[in-house]
Amino acid sequence: MLKERYPYYLANTPVQANADLEVRDKYSGAVAARAAMPDAEAIEQAIAAAVAAEAPMRKLPPYARQQVLEHCVTSFRQRHEELAQALCVEAGKPIKDARGEVTRLIDTFKVAAEEAVRIDGEVLNLEISRRAQGYRGFSKRVPIGACSFITPFNFPLNLVAHKVAPAIAAGCPFVLKPSEKTPIGALIIGEVLAETDLPAGAFSVLPVMGDKAAPFVQDERLKLLSFTGGQIGWKLKAQAGRKKVVLELGGNAACIVDADQGERLDFVVDRMVFGAFYQSGQSCIGVQRILVHASLYEEFKRRFVERTRTLKAGDPKDESVFLGPMIDEAAARRLHDWIEEARTRGARVLCGGGRKGNMLEATVLEGVPRDANVSCREAFGPVALLAPFDDFDAALAAVNDSDYGLQAGVFSNDLGHAMRAWDELVAGGVVVGDVPSFRVDNMPYGGVKLSGLGREGIRYAIEDMTEQRLLVLRDG
């Protein structure tokens, strides 16, 4: 269902300047499509066009922004299977997961359409002392201006949506650099946006290689940089100048299984297997570290390993496949090396551990040293680490013993334990009764520590993409 060639989008307009970017089927390795790549002049034109579009986008009334987003929802529904198949090929995502991501894409634009007409202001009581008697204050939120977005390969539809949809709702023009490994989904989104009446220059979708992306970060005309990716984000922040910066930079998510979970251990195991291995573990909130109460540990381990061994790996286009390829062989080799490093340091491989090209087996380890790469860094692949604990507070401390803090999970029926986890865990979010991999697209989502700063989620992104403007009136 992929086209042979895809244009990039410059100031709302498709440009088939070349076919230089090869987009490969991540399972077969064959070239599946080609996309046009912009040069430095095109990037400059896109940024200039976005800046020129600031006033027209600011004046675009909320109902008109909503209509653009509603058009996208309708079009994405009509092209659901096309988008899913493209995602399956370019990202290697199992087709069932790919369809799920298209559904989330639609949800994200739908919520943005609803929020576009809810960007309200505030009446301020300024009469806090005699000198302010007779003064009234009002504030409204206005678009921050031209924005720059850089997105990764692992959710090439929904992570684009979490930047693009709130920008349109807020009235911000933007330039987008999707991952050069998975550009097609973003280019289809560009195709749909080009069908709307957005002002000229409101958007550009430019798949360039990372070493050509400096203007997206450094250009002072851009008012906000929103980056999702790895730890290079901190370097980009340092290069971004005066613009606002929002970063989502991954994690090594942990999940606690409390002592009272014995009666529903099968459910817990099923959710953990999903959280650890869905889309080959290539999720910022994929389950990486699993802490199980000592009274349940051996039984949990037996069931978890047994369930992991049943996962079918192979061609992601096969409806029955759960585990597809990693994004490329370099990523699989890197994680395989980390597994071998842990093994040489005394860790036990309970299942998996093998690699063929960019296919890495679902791997379960125990006895992993805390400072092994596979434990203290983001694995971003199909590996889970098991460890027992005796004391709930010690388990919380173990979760916090990380440089990351994106999301954490707690399976517990104890309300006191749940509330203590919420109070004590240093993370952007705590999920009780499920894995930390759970996310709904209207909730505040983001991390602390090395996991980043700022929050995604439509309403929260709109807050970042707008700023308060104050009006003060004096009676008489």
Q: Which residues are catalytic?
A: 248, 284
Q: How many Å apart are CA 190 and CA 12, to the nearest integer?
A: 8
Q: Which residues contact 453 (CB under 8 A, 6 or more apart)?
A: 245, 246, 247, 446, 447
Q: How many Å apart are CA 166 and CA 179, to the nearest integer?
A: 20
Query: Is there a contact between 178 and 156 (Cβ–Cβ < 8 Å)?
Result: yes
Write down the residue that tokens 């031209």 correspond to.
146
Compute how many other C-beta atoms are within 10 angstroms of the C-beta atom of residue 245: 22
Element housing 258 (H / E): none
Q: How many Å apart are CA 200 and CA 193, to the nearest integer?
A: 11
φ and ψ at residue 317, rounded to 5 degrees: -75, -15
Element housing 164 (H / E): helix 158-170
Dmax of the chain from CA atoms? 80
φ and ψ at residue 79, rounded to 5 degrees: -105, 25
Write down the residue that tokens 């807050």 correspond to.
463
From its phi and psi, is residue 57 left (phi > 0), alpha (psi between -120 and 50) or beta? alpha
Closest CA to 161 of 72, 236, 233: 72
For residue 216, which amino acid is it? F
